[in-house]
Structure 1
């Protein structure tokens, strides 16, 4: 059996984003289980706002790269910051672009197993936004795991190196990442 291919993605454009740090930890945990893991940083893809006029001129390079990587993945580790109780504009835009199909191509999220994470300095850890992410992904054919993780007061569990320094939180992150790898392995 081949190792599952996992894409790790955070829905933030901010350098040193808490959610990027969280997804990096989840990616390390998935890698430690034997999965093949690639971390994608949205800010490096330079994805324009979705617009059918732009799409009619051809898929932008960053969008095509995202779609190609998602299509070849078995599973996705996805961290979503919460903005005003919902999903970030950057993540929603990336999902909107990635969900568009070209002639003969499979939609990028269809049948992908997704584990959801969120982190916030607040007391709910981004939990409210995860329901919106779950609804969006389920609606475009992703298989979203029932378990999810929201890390409240994330600034108190991050070390200076950006890694989680709280053993309980690190264990929760690893457990969800391992669950994603296990489910994708069984489905492939």
Structure 2
């Protein structure tokens, strides 16, 4: 970790280009400014997890994602809620990474936010993502919680966040993630 800025990996649980969650992730990067350098992972080409495929070797796209997670100082997830849980594409990527020889999420500072057109803002997906990653020994930021409800009313057609309260919540989450990462990385061993 550099003293000037943290390397934060953004992982979006939606493949849709115009995803509200992707827009929220880009808002987080914009808000962070020079305090954190964001890179963004792609889940688009990760194959469905299959132990037979794993036995033949880890696919290059999974190796790339694993290396990105390992290299990051912290992870920020943005995930929609599909059928009361995390999207399959996100769960699939985590399943692949959970079977790596060295667990990339172990001791990693992690935060999550979600955007949804519903009133719940993706709360159930966040709960499930936390349960999944706790097993992999990730260390979550507990507060603030960012659940963007009625997202279709808070982002414009170009994916720009127009709701100032939501922008402030995202800013507090990014700050909390950076502070959490600093604490975890400087804690005595």
Q: Which residue of 1 aligns with 2:52?
A: 53
User: 8 Å contact 1:26–1:77 — kept in the other structure?
Assistant: no
Residues 78, 117 of structure 1: 8 Å contact kept = yes
Q: How big is the alpha-carbon RMSD for the aligned residues of Structure 1 and Structure 2?
A: 1.2
| 140, 162, 181: which one aligns with 2:159 | 162
Report the CA distance between 1:28 and its aligned residue. 2.1
- Structure 1: state its 5+ residue gaps: none
- Contact 1:27 1:39 (C-alpha < 8 Å) held by counterparts: no
Tell me, what secondary structure is at the counterpart of 2:113? strand
Task: Check if 1:98 corresponds to 2:97.
Answer: yes
Per-residue deviation, residues 15-74 of structure 1 (Å, max 9, x unmatched)? 2111111111112223x151121122322xx00111111111111111110000001111
Say whether 1:111 aligns with 2:132: no
Identify unmatched segments of 5+ residues in structure 2. none
Runs of 4+ more than 4 Å apart: none
**CA contact 1:120–1:152 (8 Å) conserved in 2:** yes
User: Counterparts of 1:113 and 1:61 in 2: how far apart (Å)?
Assistant: 25
Give the match for residue 28 of structure 2. 26
Tell me, in whole angstroms, the C-alpha distance in 1 between the residues paired with 2:175 and 2:104: 22
Q: Is the 8 A contact 2:29 2:36 kept in 1?
A: no
**Residues 120 and 126 in structure 1, CA contact (< 8 A), matched pair in contact too:** yes
Partner of 1:177: 174
Q: CA deviation at 1:4?
A: 1.8
Is the CA contact 1:18–1:119 (under 8 Å) kept in the aligned structure 2?
Answer: yes
Return the alpha-carbon distance in structure 1 between the equivalents of residues 34 and 76 of structure 2.
14
**In the comparison of the two structures, how many residue pairs are matched?**
182
TM-score (norm 2): 0.92
Q: What is the alpha-carbon distance in structure 1 between the residues aligned to residue 167 and residue 35 of structure 2?
A: 18
TM-score norm. by structure 1 comes to: 0.92
> Aligned-pair distance for 1:2?
4.7
